[in-house]
Amino acid sequence: ESQENACGDGVTGCIIVASELMREAGRLLEKGLHPLVLVEGYQRALQTTLDTLDSRVVQIQPTDNQRLLDIARTAMMGTTAESGSDHLAQCIVTAAQTVATERNGTLHVRTEDVRMAKRGVGGIADSTLVSGLIIERRLDLDRLPRHLSNGKVAVLSCPLEIESSSREAEIEVTSPDQWVAFMDAEEAQLDAKAQRVLDSGATLVFCAEGIDPRVLHRCADAGVFALAGLERSGAEDIAAATGALMIDHLDSLDESVLGSYNTMTIETLEGDDSRRERLHIEAGKHAGIATVDVGGGDGVASEEVIRGLYDALCSVTSAMETGEVLLGGGSLHIAASLAIKEAAEAQGGRERLAMEAFARALEAIPAVLATNAGHDHLDTLLELRALHREGAVHSGVQHTGIAGGIENAWSSAETLAHAIEAACETACGLLRVDQVISARGD
């Protein structure tokens, strides 16, 4: 959970290393090694690992598209998204670069600003990126515009209808003329609201409250698209995506609070039960929110693809913010393992045994990669050790499972470092437990 919350990716690797550390610890405990000696050895080995990691870091720029694409593809390996990794990686990298902002000279990329939507039809290859938002809602009026270009957006949290009084009141009408005057006054209020919207210059109007049908028809007649009844969070998203300010009173509506968009398109899809209407708002390269529209069925398969995309997004944003990446394929783990074994030679105490155990635990990552590719993990590990000792320090497990040079598999340095640190902290925390007390009292 710590790895997921901190980095969003690298959870599997973290769990593998943690489990191997505990397995190695169990063997040493059976031989009489004290838990605190194990903890000390593990922590020394961790420091050696982090030093090795720092020495292998490669600096990149947020605009280094090729390296970022490699990171996204690497993160999607082994997930359902792998089958369309080239296309999806491009979507993820472009989305992250779209929502990136710079504050005080530091780049910030919020993963929350990249949304995932399920298209429900087609395949993974049909996935697209929208530099803005996708809203799935039935339209309030069929004759509203279905395509608009290069206009302004108004986002309201106040109603465009006659508001009900907060107090109970009765109006006594004694003649038809009074009734007509009453209705005319109501019509005049609605006309004033509609005219205020039209005068603002907005061609897209989103309201978190209700819109009177008469106002809606007036907007449709003027070629203005209006959508009512949005949740406040949805209205805030539209404001963030288009650069608009959400206003809570119609008197505040003027050109200064309007956002902008490139295109607005209504897409109609035929569902199993009924017709689905989806509103695509393209806000351009300066959009505050981007959406990856994931193709495929609206079921578990799409959820798995989105999970893989989220891992890729977290890795890409981490690399963009820190500017530090590392070769993947277990290259770091085998290099750190050899460095730890060399450092252990200088240790005179029993901590040396724990450090060697840590080194063996790190080798579980390239071993698993080789096994998953259908190769014998022992042969691959022996080849990797030999390659690194001969100076081929960029060697790792290739996608075919063979030990060799790694070129296109890259990962965020922050993700790898946190995964190993979290695994070590978990193992050390468990080793410090003095006694387990059963809740049942056995």
Please count the other Cβ atoms lying within 10 Å of the Cβ belonging to residue 212: 18
Query: 273 and 205, same structural domain?
Result: yes
Total number of domains constituting the chain: 2
Rounded Cα gap, residues 386 and 367, in angstroms: 15
Rounded Cα gap, residues 288 and 137, in angstroms: 21
Query: 353 and 271, same structural domain?
Result: no
- 268 occurs within a structural domain: yes
Q: Is the pLDDT of residue 300 over 80?
A: no
Rounded Cα gap, residues 369 and 377, in angstroms: 8
- 365 occurs within a structural domain: yes
DSSP state, 393? T
- 423 occurs within a structural domain: yes
Residue 389 sits in a domain whose CATH number is 1.10.560.10
What is the extent of the structural domain holding 353?
2-60+326-431
Query: 250 and 198, same structural domain?
Result: yes
How far from 22 is each of 78, 143, 253, CA to CA, in Å?
Answer: 25, 65, 62
Query: 146 and 277, same structural domain?
Result: yes
Residue 264 sits in a domain whose CATH number is 3.50.7.10
Query: 361 and 237, same structural domain?
Result: no
Query: 337 and 223, same structural domain?
Result: no
Query: 221 and 147, same structural domain?
Result: yes
Contacts of 254 (CB under 8 A, 6+ apart): 200
pLDDT digits (tens, 9 = 90+) for 323-359: 999 988 889 999 999 999 999 988 878 889 999 999 9
Q: Tell me the mean pLDDT in the region 269-280.
A: 79
Three-class DSSP category at 301: helix
pLDDT digits (tens, 9 = 90+) for 221-264: 999 999 998 999 999 999 999 999 999 888 888 889 999 999 99
- 98 occurs within a structural domain: no
Pairing mode of beta strands 101-103, 275-282:
unpaired
Query: 222 and 142, same structural domain?
Result: yes
- pTM of the predicted protein model: 0.82
Q: Which residue has the tokens 């500017």?
A: 323
pLDDT digits (tens, 9 = 90+) for 98-110: 988 888 888 888 8
- Supply the DSSP string of 374-421, one letter for each residue: TS-HHHHHHHHHHHHHTT-TTEEE-TTS-EEE-SS-EEEHHHHHHHHH
Among residues 253, 284, 315, which one ends one of the domains?
284
Query: 276 and 158, same structural domain?
Result: yes
